[in-house]
Structure 1
Amino acid sequence: MLEGETHAVLDKGETLLKRGDILVQRGTNHSWSMRGTRLAIVAAVLVGAAPVGRLARKNPRKAAKRTKTKR
């Protein structure tokens, strides 16, 4: 959070984020809830990653070949 406050609403509850706070959100359902009257400014960084757990493919080599980009 760069400025202000917002609530991060996640599958298992919610967290109030204030200026200087950092949230690492790892591909779960989420939303943001603005409950005050002050402006909030959020910086976001998106990083691609291969699925893990139940979403992972059984053969990671085949998955890697499908995701390669041509130059």
Structure 2
Amino acid sequence: MIWINEQIDPSGIIYSCIACANEAQAQACHQSFVENLSDEQREAGWVAQLRTVDSWDEVPVNALKLSY
């Protein structure tokens, strides 16, 4: 299982994306993404999203890919 962390802007564009195979690392990254959204970004509709995929082929091309 691959964990994908994304920060998505109000128009649905992925602003930042990190993918990794370690759930604990992914949870820590997600918490950081959530905490780093400013109040203004949240009010504008920015979101931090954590999701999973089954294959590295399903990870967005612009993602930083961590294999641990």
TM-score normalized by the length of structure 2: 0.30
Judging by fraction of residues, say which structure has more strand: 2
* Structure possessing the higher relative contact order (Cα contacts under 8 Å, 6 or more residues apart): 2
TM-score normalized by the length of structure 1: 0.30
Greater radius of gyration (CA): 1
